[in-house]
Copies of this chain bind each other. A is one copy, B any other.
Amino acid sequence: MKRSHRVGAICQILTESPEQVFNLKYFCDKFSAAKSSISEDISAAGEAVKAAGYGYIQTMSGASGGVKYVPDISPEKAKEVQKNLCNLLREENRILGGGFLYTSDIMYNPAVVKGMAQIFAKKFRTAGANYVATIETKGIPVAFMTAHLLNIPVIVVRRETKISEGATVSINYFPGSSERLQKMSISKRAAAPGSKALIIDDFMRGGGSIKGIAEILSEVEIQVAGIGVAIVNIEPAGKKVSDYFPIVHLGKVNEENKSVEVIPNCQIF
């Protein structure tokens, strides 16, 4: 097998499984090559991945050593993701009655979601999260893709208890948008007590749901490692949570002249 083929294959294998450690032996066996050749291949793969611009290859030494692919996003690409999201949100045909915006097509589009997840993964990579937590429904894809890039599982907080969740813990909370009490529940099996979770969601207005997620996580002894939200409404100024990271800020949605104010978070990295 030629060097360029091995380098390409290594790039591909690592990219398919972000944050998963492969030891040198795995590649030696797969390509029937000596450790010294594979070492050189991996160093070439590192250069290749750097040139591609989606992330980098990290080498860990020692007994549990090996290599892994760490997805990353350059500030330029992150700005493109933000700009694209702003342009999508400004499309006038997504304005619904009551100042609401239709965003399901955005939140369920893998290409758009991947960009947002890359931003969240970069931002929270070092937060030490063992899980990504979200609440059903529209935030699940971006939470799941972020979890994929960080190679950790997802916890989905439910609106109602289901028999298939086993024993659950429930809380009542006030969502930001109304003063009607709502319920959320989490399976007691969802996560190991003492671990940390990153909260990821698609949208936040007052922050009531996010605060609820933080509360229910604390009930099952899980600490919040960070909060990332794709779209944060500028109003109300006083949110129920303080330390959150938006990709874009949503301002006024004007039904009459069909305009949507949306600005990128200029402090992302």
Chain A residues proximal to chain B, CB less than 8 Å:
1-13, 15-17, 20, 31, 41, 44-45, 47-49, 51-52, 54, 96-98, 100-105, 108-111, 113-114, 136-138, 140-141, 144-145, 147-148, 151-156, 158, 163-166, 187, 189-190
B7 and A151: CB pair below 8 A? no
- Majority SS of interface residues in chain A? helix
Q: Does B7 contact A104, Cβ atoms closer than 8 Å?
A: no
Q: Is the CB of A16 within 8 A of B164?
A: no
Chain B min CB distance to A52 (Å) = 4
For A98, the chain B residues whose CB sits under 8 A away are: 163
CB distance from A44 to the nearest CB of B (A): 5
Q: Which residue of B lies closest to A118 (CB)?
A: B16
Residues A45 and B103 in contact, CB atoms below 8 Å apart: no
Compute how far the CA of A96 lies from the CA of B187 in the bound complex, rounded to whole angstroms: 12
The residue from B11, B104, B144, B156 contacting A165, defined by CB atoms under 8 A apart: B104
Partner pick for A54 among B13, B20, B105, CB 8 A cutoff: B13
Whole-angstrom distance between the Cβ of A220 and the nearest chain B Cβ: 14
The residues of B that contact A97 with a CB separation of less than 8 Å are 163
Q: Can you show 20 pairs from A to B with CB atoms below 8 A apart?
A: A3-B4, A4-B41, A4-B44, A6-B51, A9-B11, A9-B48, A9-B51, A11-B11, A12-B49, A15-B16, A96-B164, A102-B189, A105-B190, A110-B144, A110-B147, A114-B148, A137-B156, A137-B158, A144-B144, A144-B145
